[in-house]
Amino acid sequence: MLARSTTLRFDWLMIFLYFALVFIGWINIYSASLNDNASGYFDFSQIYGKQMLWIALSFFLIPFILAIDSKFYERFASVIYLISIVSLIGLFVFGKNIAGQTAWYSFGSFSIQPSEFVKAATALALAKYLSDIQTNLKEFRSQVNAFLILTVPMLLILLQPDPGSVLIYLAFFFPLYREGLSGLYLAVGATAAILFVVTLYTDNWWIVAIGILVIGVVAYFINRKRRPSLVKYTFIALAAIAFTFSVDYIFDNVFKQHHRDRFNIVLGKEVDERGIGYNTHQSEIAISNGGWFGRGWTEGTQTKGDFVPEQHTDYIFSTVGEEWGFIGSLTIILLFVGLITRIIFRAEKQKNQFARIYGYSAAAIIFVHFAVNISMVIGIFPTVGIPLPFISYGGSALWGFTILLFIFIKLDATNFHYT
Amino acid sequence: MRRLVLISLVLVTSVILVARLFYLQIIDTSSESLYHNNAVKTVYEYPQRGYIFDRNGELLVANQPSYDVMVVPRDIKNLDTLELCQLLNISQENLEEILNKAWNYSPRLPSVVIPQLNKAEYAILSEKMYKYRGFYIQRRSLRDYQIAHSANVLGYIAEVNQATLDNNPYYQAGELIGTAGIEKQYEDVLRGSKGVKFIQRNRFNQEIGPYKDGIFDTLPQRGQDIQLTIDAKLQEYGTRLMKNKRGGIVAIEPATGEILALISAPNYDPGLLVGRERSKNFTRLWYDTISKPLFDRVLMGEYPPGSPFKVLTALIGLEENVITTSEAMSCFRGYHYGRNGFLRCHYHASPVNVVSGIATSCNTFFAVTYRRFVEKYKTPQEGIDNWNRHLSSFGLGNFLGYDLPTGRRGFIPNSEFYNRAYPNHRWFTTATISNAIGQGEVSMTPIQMANMTAIIANRGWYYTPHILKKVMGPDTLSQRYKEKHVTTISPRHFEPVIKGMHDVYRYGTASAIRIPDIEIGGKTGTVENYTRIDGKRVQLTDHSIFVAFAPIDDPKIAIAVFVEHGYWGSRWAGRIAGLMIEKYLKGEITRTDMEQFILEGSLEEEYAKPYSGKPFTINN
């Protein structure tokens, strides 16, 4: 018994995938940030040099995370969560304003973005709360509490303002659903998303409203043998129409012009390749340049010409697409799919409910980052400033994802302790 | 079930992402995105514009090479502004302004810095351009005019404007486009299509050869040559005759609708609008608001037609059966109507029938005729609308549909017009009596007058006048110029009218212009016109008009001549028409006395009267 509690069984596949992605990330950051002033791979004044430093530091971080007792994360989840919330509040006092966002603590030449760490802390807190024996997601009270855990960091991040990062918190609906939250929430969310896109696409809320009425009437008559409740149908239809109307209203009156433009470009309603659509368009060209096998490392013409802004951070995938081609892009997608499915697979195996919920949250967070970021780079999602996990440049993001992943690896390593 | 939601979403999303990547990287190889691809440089090659020939195959317009200094603002590096300004011979502020404009247009696409250098300037610059990164010299083809007239017909090419750039993706800033006349009308035929070359750059922005071995490159296609219906010799002669006069000449071949001459005076040498002096010259022409050389008087000028219009009144009278060829009317130096109305007439033999009425241009005869066919109907409204219907079939009161980009409708009133002018719709035929003799509310453009004459020569039909004879190549003349338009007047009614027009020439108002061996049918016009000088309505010297066709039995040419403030019909317009007809039919002039009078005559003093204050005594 004693011997068992001190040995750990690491899931080497997850660890391998992590190192593969981080390595690929650095290779591409090197290519995207290489310029005439660079002097060798270890030039720490360069972006790729700094990233190498971050990667090296995270290698020190990993043994530290793994050394801490797995019970610590469960027991101190609330404390970690509270500290992270305080770090977000502290931003409004000590934070540094960069490009209109108060999202950074600045220490000399280094900056730290707390919101990258809060994701892991929130996952811990949510896992802790949901694994509590008294929590029952079928009850309204538990639902409210669970939502509250998510809403507090979301609001604080929204105030920075960093709407992209807020979007990530929707990932927590997957573990919530997995743990028994009514499917109605996901259904309502999915319907809302569809109505949102359709409303913006038609640009006439009443056309969508007519569509909703038609679908409602058809559905009612198909189901009429089961004697459906007319009141319920009417209520749902009215709610949907009200939503459509508010989308139309908010889009036209609350959104700022650059938000509208981002949506319109993805919906193909606006073609502006010189102005607002420039990023996406250039990144698409870069990716198209890749062909099957790409132009080769550091040979990408779009990449070298600095035509894609933010290429080493949010748009890093365009470098992958140009220099490594379809094969390279496919490889990265497969690595991500491998990592995410492996986390889900291992999470389902957890005997400890806390570890399972945490793992599920981690998988969902990485998935949303991955899906939103790549969709944005290849032009099927509006521009949202969130990084590609493990790949994009940025110390905070790299550390945040490293901590998120390795806490789960540690929890997973002690899984066999539970019998 | 709940376990599978996230994992299936992961898989579905990945498939979508891979599919999109596959589309972007493998399937979508269209050349469309090449234009925005920064690693690929787009180089245009401009074709030669098509040549323009006259109806006899004489070359009117050819091409000459020209060189533009271009800039791609983003590529500018380490620019020595001062040195470049000296080299280009422009001021520093000027250069900054040009570069700012180029930046605003696009940092990536080329803009023009200095347009249209000649060969000598090019020789100096071409050696030194390599020093200025971002600048280069673009070869283009400019017009080379073989003639110094007909600018109103040929039009000109100019740098494409912003509105066209926004609407037509073919054009890039700084390119040339036909902006007036034939150049504008047949831009698509004349311009050809430009070639494009895509050149691959490596990561150091150096050009390393054609993109994908040039599979997307296209060769420039030379514009097609065109032949006009214009007779260059006639056109040149007419231009000389119209020197120091204002107005215009339109000659049409009645059997085909081909425009033989289209002269607007004063005009300018089309060569003025080529080269670096272009904008200076254009400004000078543009600001000449007194003689308006850019105003095409034959297509855009709307004038009361005057007496030639009586021919139409006669035709309508015959068609409506309100007069016969034998009916004679007495004229007592005018026509009394209404309570106090009186339409003055001049001395001539009386009584007159339709033939001698035309020959002597009797106002009374046509006023009576007009009144009869309008009053034939229950209300004057119906009468006027019927009159309008006849005139519309002559192509009046609307655009003729010829193939030049400018024009005016002219004006033929209808009942609605008079109903609006007279409250309670209380108006009678007599209120519009001036229409009978081509004064009053009616107005026509000179090309409409020429077309009307062609219709009479044809005895009742016409082809829409046009100026394109053919495109040298697969394209042919538009179908709409092969469609015969037939008027509402029966052909038999034309004979007495033509006889009258012949008598005008034989012994009538234009007997002074008689030319040996040529029988002409014509009609003079002396048009009263008014203007406001210092707020007062002043009657100016009459316009001189003459319409004619010849030979009378087998018409080869129908012509309308209009001379502003030219005293009376036969004095200027009649003589010019006679000379033009003889030139066209015989190729040489026998009435050299008449030719000398016209060539040496000037109306400039007349045109200066509103400014010099000399009295317009000629009217009294």
Asked if B5 is an interface residue toward chain A (Cβ–Cβ < 8 A), one would say yes
- Average pLDDT on B307-336 reads 90
- Side chain identity at residue A81, one-letter code: Y
Structure tokens at B520: 């002409």
ipTM of this complex prediction, to 2 decimal places:
0.88
What residues in A contact B17, CB-CB < 8 Å? 333, 371, 374-375, 378
Asked if B215 is an interface residue toward chain A (Cβ–Cβ < 8 A), one would say no
Distance of alpha carbon A118 from alpha carbon A80, whole angstroms: 9
Contacts of B118 (CB under 8 A, 6+ apart): B66, B67, B275, B276
| Strand B52-53 to B226-228 pairing | parallel
Which chain A residue lies closest to B8 (C-alpha atoms)?
A341
Asked if B21 is an interface residue toward chain A (Cβ–Cβ < 8 A), one would say yes
Helix (H) or strand (E) holding B503: helix B494-506
Percent helix, strand and coil across chain B, each rounded to 5? 40, 20, 35
DSSP code of residue B160: P
What residues in B contact A288, CB-CB < 8 Å? 24-25, 28, 33
Q: Nearest by CB to A344, which of B6, B203, B204?
A: B6
**What's the gap in Å between the CA of B165 and the closest CA on chain A?**
15
Which chain A residue lies closest to B40 (C-alpha atoms)?
A301
Question: What is the pLDDT, as a whole number, of residue B620?
Answer: 45
- Could you tell me which residues are beta bridge partners of residue B114? B69
Tokens 């969508």 locate to: A208
A284–B24 C-beta distance less than 8 A: yes
Round the CA-based radius of gyration of chain A to a whole number and report it: 23
Q: Cα B483–B487–B489 angle (5° rounding)?
A: 155
Round the CA-based radius of gyration of chain B to a whole number and report it: 31
**What's the gap in Å between the CA of A367 and the closest CA on chain B?**
7
Return the percentage of chain B with pLDDT > 70, whole number.
96
Question: What is the pLDDT, as a whole number, of residue A305?
Answer: 64
- pLDDT per position as a tens digit, B184-193: 999 988 988 8
Of A374, A335, A411, nearest to A18 by C-alpha is: A335
C-alpha dihedral sign at A215, A218, A220, A222: negative
Question: What is the pLDDT, as a whole number, of residue B427?
Answer: 86
Which chain B residue lies closest to A343 (C-alpha atoms)?
B7
B195 CB-contact burial (10 Å; exposed 0-12 / middle 13-18 / buried 19+): middle
Contacts of A41 (CB under 8 A, 6+ apart): A30, A48, A49, A52
Asked if B20 is an interface residue toward chain A (Cβ–Cβ < 8 A), one would say yes
Interface probe for A, chosen from B4, B10, B40, B105 (most Cβ of A below 10 Å), is B10
Q: Nearest by CB to B25, which of A300, A321, A364?
A: A321
Which chain A residue lies closest to B103 (C-alpha atoms)?
A274
Contacts of A85 (CB under 8 A, 6+ apart): A118, A121, A152, A153, A156
What residues in A contact B201, CB-CB < 8 Å? 301
Q: Nearest by CB to A285, which of B14, B37, B201?
A: B37
Rounded alpha-carbon distances, angstroms, from residue B580 to B228, B229, B234, B589, B592: 19, 16, 7, 9, 13
B24–A288 C-beta distance less than 8 A: yes
- Average pLDDT on B464-486 reads 81
Lowest mean pLDDT among A167-181, B37-51, B203-217: B203-217
Which chain A residue lies closest to B104 (C-alpha atoms)?
A274
B202–A302 C-beta distance less than 8 A: no
A178–B39 C-beta distance less than 8 A: no
Q: Nearest by CB to B26, which of A273, A326, A337?
A: A326
- Average pLDDT on B484-499 reads 90
What residues in B contact A174, CB-CB < 8 Å? 5-6
**What's the gap in Å between the CA of A254 and the closest CA on chain B?**
30
CA dihedral B3, B4, B6, B12 (to 10 degrees): 170
Distance of alpha carbon B482 from alpha carbon B470, whole angstroms: 13
Distance of alpha carbon B449 from alpha carbon B451, whole angstroms: 5
A329–B25 C-beta distance less than 8 A: yes
Contacts 24+ apart (CB under 8 A), A106-115: A110/A395, A111/A396, A112/A395, A112/A396, A113/A394, A113/A396, A113/A397, A114/A84, A114/A87, A114/A88, A114/A90, A114/A396, A115/A88, A115/A153, A115/A157, A115/A160, A115/A162, A115/A165
What residues in B contact A321, CB-CB < 8 Å? 21, 24-25
What residues in B contact A287, CB-CB < 8 Å? 21, 24-25
Distance of alpha carbon A105 from alpha carbon A381, whole angstroms: 30
Give the domains, in start order, of chain B with CATH numbers: 48-228 (3.90.1310.10), 240-286+298-619 (3.40.710.10)
Asked if B300 contacts B447 with a C-beta cutoff of 8 angstroms, the reply is no
Of B435 and A291, which is predicted with more confidence? B435
- Side chain identity at residue B614, one-letter code: K
Confidence of residue B476 (pLDDT cuts 50, 70, 90): low
Distance of alpha carbon B155 from alpha carbon B405, whole angstroms: 10
CA dihedral B269, B273, B275, B278 (to 10 degrees): 120
**What's the gap in Å between the CA of B116 and the closest CA on chain A?**
29
Of A166, A352, A377, A169, nearest to A266 by C-alpha is: A377
- Average pLDDT on B297-304 reads 91
**What is the distance between the terminal CA atoms of chain A, rounded to a whole angstrom?**
11
Q: Cα A178–A184–A188 angle (5° rounding)?
A: 115
**What's the gap in Å between the CA of A321 and the closest CA on chain B?**
8
**What's the gap in Å between the CA of A291 and the closest CA on chain B?**
5
A371–B13 C-beta distance less than 8 A: yes
Tokens 């016109």 locate to: B529
Which chain B residue lies closest to A36 (C-alpha atoms)?
B204
Can you tell me whether residue B545 is helix, strand or coil?
strand
Q: Nearest by CB to B38, which of A305, A333, A379?
A: A305
Interface probe for B, chosen from A301, A311, A372, A388 (most Cβ of B below 10 Å), is A301
Kindly report the average pLDDT of chain B as a whole number: 87
What residues in B contact A183, CB-CB < 8 Å? 2
B21–A326 C-beta distance less than 8 A: yes
B202–A301 C-beta distance less than 8 A: yes
Of B473 and A21, which is predicted with more confidence? A21
| B residues 30..49 contacting A (CB < 8 A) | 33, 36-39
What residues in A contact B20, CB-CB < 8 Å? 378-380
**What's the gap in Å between the CA of B41 and the closest CA on chain A?**
12
Q: What is the DSSP string of B95-150?
A: HHHHHHHHHHH-SSS-EEEEEEE-HHHHHHHHHHGGGSBTEEEEEEEEEEES-SS-
Question: What is the pLDDT, as a whole number, of residue B37?
Answer: 65
Of B567 and A22, which is predicted with more confidence? A22
Of B476 and A259, which is predicted with more confidence? A259
**Does residue B48 have a pLDDT over 80?**
yes
Q: Nearest by CB to B203, which of A304, A337, A364?
A: A304
Distance of alpha carbon B409 from alpha carbon A161, whole angstroms: 63
| B residues 38..97 contacting A (CB < 8 A) | 38-39
Q: What is the pLDDT along chain A (419 residues), one digit of tens a residue?
A: 444 556 888 999 999 999 999 999 999 999 888 877 777 787 778 888 889 999 999 999 999 999 998 889 999 999 999 999 999 999 888 888 877 788 888 887 778 899 999 999 999 999 999 998 888 888 888 989 999 999 999 999 988 888 888 889 989 999 998 888 888 888 888 888 887 777 777 767 777 788 888 888 888 888 777 777 778 888 888 888 888 888 777 777 777 777 777 777 666 655 555 455 667 777 888 888 788 888 788 777 666 666 677 777 888 998 899 889 999 999 999 999 999 999 999 999 998 999 999 999 999 999 999 999 999 888 888 888 889 999 999 889 999 999 999 999 999 998 887 76
Asked if B4 is an interface residue toward chain A (Cβ–Cβ < 8 A), one would say no
Confidence of residue B162 (pLDDT cuts 50, 70, 90): confident
Q: Nearest by CB to B25, which of A282, A325, A364?
A: A325
Distance of alpha carbon A79 from alpha carbon B410, whole angstroms: 90
What residues in A contact B13, CB-CB < 8 Å? 367, 371
Interface probe for A, chosen from B23, B103, B203 (most Cβ of A below 10 Å), is B203
- Side chain identity at residue B345, one-letter code: C
Helix axes A316-349, A353-377, angle to 10 degrees: 160
Asked if B64 contacts B130 with a C-beta cutoff of 8 angstroms, the reply is no
B5–A177 C-beta distance less than 8 A: yes
Return the percentage of chain B with pLDDT > 90, whole number.
35
B22–A304 C-beta distance less than 8 A: no
Contacts of A33 (CB under 8 A, 6+ apart): A46, A47, A48, A312, A393
Question: What is the pLDDT, as a whole number, of residue B475?
Answer: 55
Asked if B212 is an interface residue toward chain A (Cβ–Cβ < 8 A), one would say no
Lowest mean pLDDT among A35-44, A259-268, B52-61, B253-262: A259-268
What residues in A contact B5, CB-CB < 8 Å? 174, 177-178, 186
- Order the strands of the A110-112 sheet from edge to edge: A96-98, A101-107, A110-112
Distance of alpha carbon B553 from alpha carbon B458, whole angstroms: 10
Which chain A residue lies closest to B207 (C-alpha atoms)?
A301
Question: What is the pLDDT, as a whole number, of residue B549?
Answer: 94
Question: What is the pLDDT, as a whole number, of residue B89?
Answer: 82
Asked if A377 contacts A287 with a C-beta cutoff of 8 angstroms, the reply is yes
